[in-house]
Amino acid sequence: MSSQSQLLTPFQRKLLVKQIRSEMRSEYYRRIEIMLLADSGHSQTQICVRLGCSQETARYWIEMARSGKAHQWDDCPIGRPQTINEPFLERLKELVSHSPREFGYPFKRWTAGALSKHLANEFGIEVSDRHINRLLKRMGLSTRANHSEATVEPEQVKDGIIIRDLQPVAPPNLLLPLNPMQTSN
């Protein structure tokens, strides 16, 4: 290993050394470490063994150093981009609190799929049905009808009184207990 810089300019090396001393996520730290180790003459395999990273990760950041882009170590965000923002959540809350018919749909209740499609048209952000349900749950909301809403149709209400059949609490027991040993005299 040579102590002389092989890939980085003196300015880039100084910048990376300064950055590695600051507080940062471990993934960013690893990027800088890969470039510094490669710059000091370590091979890709040596870097992978020393840092416990994949060959692909090491190869990518060694090439970034080699191509003069070491200063871009934090340009590539880590993880999935956050697509859900506050306006999206507010609109979701607004939609679920109104009937879909108010927005020109023929159905009475929202489904996660319908909300997802509607929001994709408005915001250009595609979110799965499952994620819509997770978001609603986090907000304390649901697309499911309340029990009282599900059993009362407008035609069942007359003069403010709900008219419907009573539902049995338990299935009726048609057999009566019989003890053949008892006889009446």
Amino acid, res. 174: L
More confident: 13 or 167: 13
Quickly state the pLDDT bin for 22 (edges 50, 70, 90): confident
Quickly state the pLDDT bin for 34 (edges 50, 70, 90): very high
Residue ranges per domain, the chain?
10-72, 86-144
Is 80 exceeded by the pLDDT of residue 1?
no
Quickly state the pLDDT bin for 124 (edges 50, 70, 90): confident
